[in-house]
Structure 1
Amino acid sequence: MRKSKVILLLKTFSKEEIKKFDDLLSSPYFNKKKTLIRFYSELMKFHPEFPDDKISKENIYSKTFPGKNFNEQVIKNLNSEMLRLIKVFFEIELIGTDRFERKINLLKQLVRRKADKVYLSELKGFENELNEQSDISERKFHYLFLLEELKIAYHLERNEQPKVFDKVMKSGEHLILYFHLHFIKTISNLNINRQTYSVNYETNLPAEYFDNTSYENIIKYMKDNKISNSDLFEMYYLRVKCNTYPFEEVHYFKFKELLLNNYNSLDKIETYGLFIALEAYCLRKLMSGDLKFSKELFDIFRIEIDKNFYKFSDASPVTFMKFRNTYLTALRLHEFDWFEKFIDDYKNDLIESDRNAVLKIAYAYFNFEKDEFENTLKLLADLNPPQLFLKMDIRNLTLMAHYELDYIDSVLSQIDSYKHFLTGSNSLFEAMRESNFRFLNSLNSLILMKEKDQKDSLEELKLNLIPYVGERRIVWLIEKIDAEI
């Protein structure tokens, strides 16, 4: 039974959920079968491990029905009924935690029952609650749309057609804003899949829809007619324009301006996502060799921290990639004091299983930038994190520190090993593989050209690397080449 759906789901139950589900099973409204309660009770004696030898069908049956011969069909029926009630429990829990969803369902019931007095009172209360929310979000527009649809249905059922005219317009406006915010996030995710993971879609209806919609005309219409949320609409549109036309920086700076002028009116989750989009643009510009975006990215991180948008929520951890991007940006600009304060402020927000490796690698980079190469190597010794990015950080830093310490034989050996690692890594996306091979081949060429005093070849190598100065290790390589020319 260990692989049954019932066991797989029961394993996820917390102590509080176990008690709640026990209450549900004991309620005659949901369950009138006492055998099902006994069945559940016997199973939960082995929560959360549910070892095979304890929860075999025969063993659980004998405990549930002592003295009776095993009946396969009875066990199947109990499992089926238990699974049904677990699904009911999950549905109740989900609705129970979403106050807005509960309100909408209540209003639908009141409309259906023609309980007009109660309906109108509940409707007004919910509408006031939504409108009093100062934070704008996709979710808010969704429920404002549903609310207008309920009003329309209410009046139409009572043959009050004139009362729906303004509500149809409001419904349409709320629907457009809800759709626009959600749609732009979808387009952004599709672009990330294409740019970062080289995903090619044979057909792409969302992109086709975006490209063939006259967003500039819609934004102009909204502004000319003083329709609310025009800045919000434009800001989300510019989020995609930044991504699809990265060399037209005007889109980025207008997007940033609108966000800084409007973040106080936005839901924190919406704001977090928009700042992530600014980060992504800056990182992309950096990777294209536009170094002025180092300072721009650093400023974005500082604003996020100062305004409390750095994390998804106060309780959320900081991902190792965001933590890494932040401190590497500070180190690139030699903001060493800021680096140390940042590490101290946010180290405990890292996922605990990642923390030791992430912090040691961060301080290894810090020591490397301060030319303390022996300390760099000490910090990296014996680290073997599961994340590919961190594995590559360790290899890159170790190579550079060994070169600085003139351990050339070790560097050459590591280059060969690193290439085998990159070739054999199936989960590494191609752009990152190419980037690391470029670094390794260039470092190998630097060593060979340096030995042969081939200054012209070193000049050519430098020229070939200049387009990639957005990568810190490439900047380091160019510094080493300059030292030999």
Structure 2
Amino acid sequence: MKNKVSFLLTYFDVYELNKLRKFIQSPYFNSNEILVQLFDILRKELEKDKRKELPKESIWKLLYKNKPYDDVRYRKLNSELLKLTEEFLAQEEYNNNPMRQSNYLMDSIGKKKITSLYSSTIKNARNISTKIEKIEPSHYFYLYEMEQNFFELEDYETNRSEKANLEVILNNLDNFYFSEKLKWYCTILPRLLNTSNIYDLKFINEILEYINSNKIENDFINIYNLIVKLYKFPYEKSNFNELLKTIEINSSKFTQNEQFRMFNHLLNFCVSHVNKGDLEYHEHYIDINENLISNGLIFTDGYLSPWRFKNIVQIALRINKFEWTENFIEKYKKNLHPDFRENAVTFNLALLYFYQRSYDKVIYQLQNVEYEDDAYNLSSKSMLLAVYYEMDYIEPLYSLFDSFRAYLNRNKTLSDTRKLSYVNLIKFTKQLSRIIDGDFKSIEKLKSEILQEKNIASDKWLMEKIKEKENSK
């Protein structure tokens, strides 16, 4: 198992490692040359193989050729290097936030009473604030701090006859507080609607009443207020349409994280309606995801999640967008991580062929693939089970019953609830396969059992097969 600092370094690219070395070399941050040497050793080993690490005794020998190994000293060196690496990460965040820097500078020169710098520092801070192109709610907090520092530097507390910037200070504080309060309330709302969790939310009703009773000129507040309405009144389609339009018009003003957060509320809302069979929201889900992909808002470390890729394909296929799905897979497969790409493409093509009822192609795609991810594995086995049933391949079907059940039994990561849903799928499909056409009594009995059991994977497919049996002569 890697020590903490070696593990942390695996998250750095070459450019960041070079910057980190300069940071560790800086006498302002570090006066121990041995730590630079330790970093170089760890980096060299990292470049050879990220998964392996030199034994600590070997690293010690490279640092201190003739000294006997001292575990306490070695641990202390690693701890100091870890602390420096963490300081570097914090420093990088600070360097990437010019407004925070200017606020710290104003605070510092104010404490030291360097009056000759007041005017230029205030001017520079205001210039920086106007050049921020992409904002998030914290932007208003930095504006609040800036105006507060400006108030103190101008000594408005003494000159009380001046109007000062008190109104601006409070407006920025309100914008920050309202935006953040609503943002987190929108995170809580789905939990309130879908679980029995209880949250003590102070002032939220008063804030909402104020916002809805006054003209608010803050885009964050208005958008999150619309998201609140979306969750509270889910069947009023005008809320969805207004929110979608408002986000699309204003999204270019916001950071990528904020844009994704807003669009993700729309996606979650779409999924809730998709699960109820609302066809209109299938289209919305697809369109929003395509927008997020094309604008690079949906990627993690530069890649599209294979699970989101699968969800998009699955929802498109539910409304028979076969050609669109094939084009989507081909167009965006390059955006999948190389470690997942081949299996994800294989599975999603199989899914396309399944909806097209090209069952031979499904078998060809899936029969020799074993996925590391549980979700893909379960979906793959469920699809094969359905295909063998559809094609009346009894021997492979019964063999899959056994291997699927064995997989569920040995899997230690799946919850009992999730396991049971697939155990029920196996059980009911097996019963279904034994019912001969025309045995309506057995069909009704099985249908009743399925309807009573709330936890079944692929329950819609099972009910479709029951209906086919009911209509058989």
What's 1:427 paired with? 413
Q: Which amino acid aligns with 1:317?
A: Y
Corresponding residue of 1:480 = 465
**Letter of the structure 2 residue corresponding to residue 217 of structure 1:** E
Please say if residues 43 and 55 of structure 1, whose CA atoms lie closer than 8 Å, have aligned partners that are also in contact: no
2:64 partner letter: S
Quote the residue 1:166 is aligned against: 167
1:60 counterpart residue number: 62
Q: CA deviation at 1:298?
A: 2.3
Q: Under a length normalisation based on structure 2, what TM-score does the superposition of the two structures give?
A: 0.81
- Any unmatched runs of 5+ in structure 1? none
The match for 1:281 among 250, 254, 269 is: 269
CA shift in 2, pair 1:8/1:173, >3 Å: same
**Deviating more after overlay: 91-100 vs 359-368:** 91-100
- Cα offsets for 1:247-286 (capped at 9, x unmatched): x412x64044223234232324323222222222232233
Could you give the per-residue CA deviations for residues 449-484 of structure 1, whole angstroms, max 9, x where no partner exists? x32733244356557768999x99444333322322
Q: Is the 8 A contact 2:273 2:281 kept in 1?
A: no
> Given the alignment, which residue of 287, 302, 308 partners 1:322?
308
Q: 1:366 Cα shift? A: 1.1
The equivalent of 2:280 in structure 1 is 295
Post-superposition Cα deviations, 1:157-197, rounded to whole Å, max 9, x if no partner, equal 76245424313421332222342254235425856xx95xx
The sequence identity of aligned pairs, in percent, is: 21
Matched, 1:312 2:298: yes
Report the counterpart of residue 183 of structure 1 in structure 2. Answer: 184
State the one-letter code of the partner of 1:458. Answer: I
The answer to whether residue 233 in structure 2 is matched with residue 260 in structure 1 is no
Query: CA shift at 1:320, angstroms?
Result: 1.4
- By relative contact order (CA 8 Å, sep 6+), the higher-ranking structure is 1
Q: Equivalent residue for 1:151?
A: 150
Match of 1:347 among 314, 330, 333: 333
What pairs with 1:230-245 in structure 2 (closer than 5 Å)? Answer: 232-240=220-228, 242-243=230-231
Amino acid at match of 1:284: S
CA offsets per residue over residues 279-301 of structure 1, 9 Å max, x none? 222322333xx212x43132232
Unmatched runs of 5 consecutive residues or more in structure 2: none
Counterpart of 1:372 (choices 346, 358, 379) is: 358
Which stretch has the larger CA shift, 471-480 or 212-221?
A: 471-480
Cα separation, 2, equivalents of 1:384 and 1:310: 30
Aligned with residue 431 of structure 2, among 445, 462, 481: 445
| Partner in structure 2 of residue 208 of structure 1 | 200
The alignment's TM-score, normalised by the length of structure 1, stands at 0.79
User: Which range moved further: 275-284 or 334-343?
Assistant: 275-284
| Conserved? CA contact 1:364–1:379, under 8 Å | yes
> How many matched pairs?
459
Cα 1:55/1:427, change in 2 over 3 Å: same
Using the alignment, how far apart are the partners of 1:472 and 1:295 within structure 2? 24
Check if 1:227 corresponds to 2:219: no
Contact 1:279–1:297 under 8 Å retained in 2: no
Cα deviation for residue 423 of structure 1 reads 5.0
Alignment of 1:32-181 (within 5 A): 32-34=31-33, 37=36, 46-48=45-47, 49-52=52-55, 55-57=58-60, 59-63=61-65, 78-79=77-78, 81-116=80-115, 118-131=117-130, 133=132, 135-155=134-154, 159-161=158-160, 162-181=163-182
Question: Post-superposition shift, 1:399?
Answer: 0.6
Change (3 A) 1:160 1:221: farther
Give the Cα–Cα distance (whole angstroms) in 2 for the partners of residues 345 and 398 of structure 1. 26
Instruction: Give the superposed CA RMSD.
Output: 3.8
The equivalent residue for 2:396 is 410
Q: Which amino acid aligns with 1:394?
A: S
CA distance in 1, matches of 2:8, 2:183: 31
Equivalents in 2 of 1:157, 1:365: separation in Å? 68
Q: What is the aligned partner in structure 2 of residue 381 from structure 1?
A: 367
Residues 349-382 of structure 1, C-alpha deviations (whole Å, 9 max, x = no match): 1121111111111111111122211110010022
* Structure 1 match to 2:29: 30
Q: 1:467 to 1:47 in 2, by over 3 A?
A: same
Tell me by how many angstroms 1:215 deviates: 4.9
Letter in 2 for 1:209: L
Is the contact made by 1:46 and 1:54 (CA closer than 8 Å) also made in structure 2? Answer: no
